[in-house]
Homo-oligomer: A and B are copies of this chain.
Amino acid sequence: MSDHVYKLIELAGSSEKGIQDAIENAIAHASKTIRNMRWVEVIETRGHIENDKIMHWQVKLKVGFTLDQT
Contact = CB atoms under 8 A, between A and B. Distances in A.
Nearest to A5: B29
Q: How many copies does the complex hold?
A: 12
Interface residues of A, number: 51
Given A39-B47, A42-B44, 16 more contacts: A2-B55, A5-B14, A7-B10, A7-B12, A8-B11, A8-B60, A9-B10, A10-B62, A12-B64, A24-B53, A30-B67, A37-B49, A39-B46, A39-B48, A42-B45, A42-B46
Contacts of A12: 4-8, 64
Nearest to A35: B52
Contacts of A38: 48-49
A47 to B, nearest CB: 5
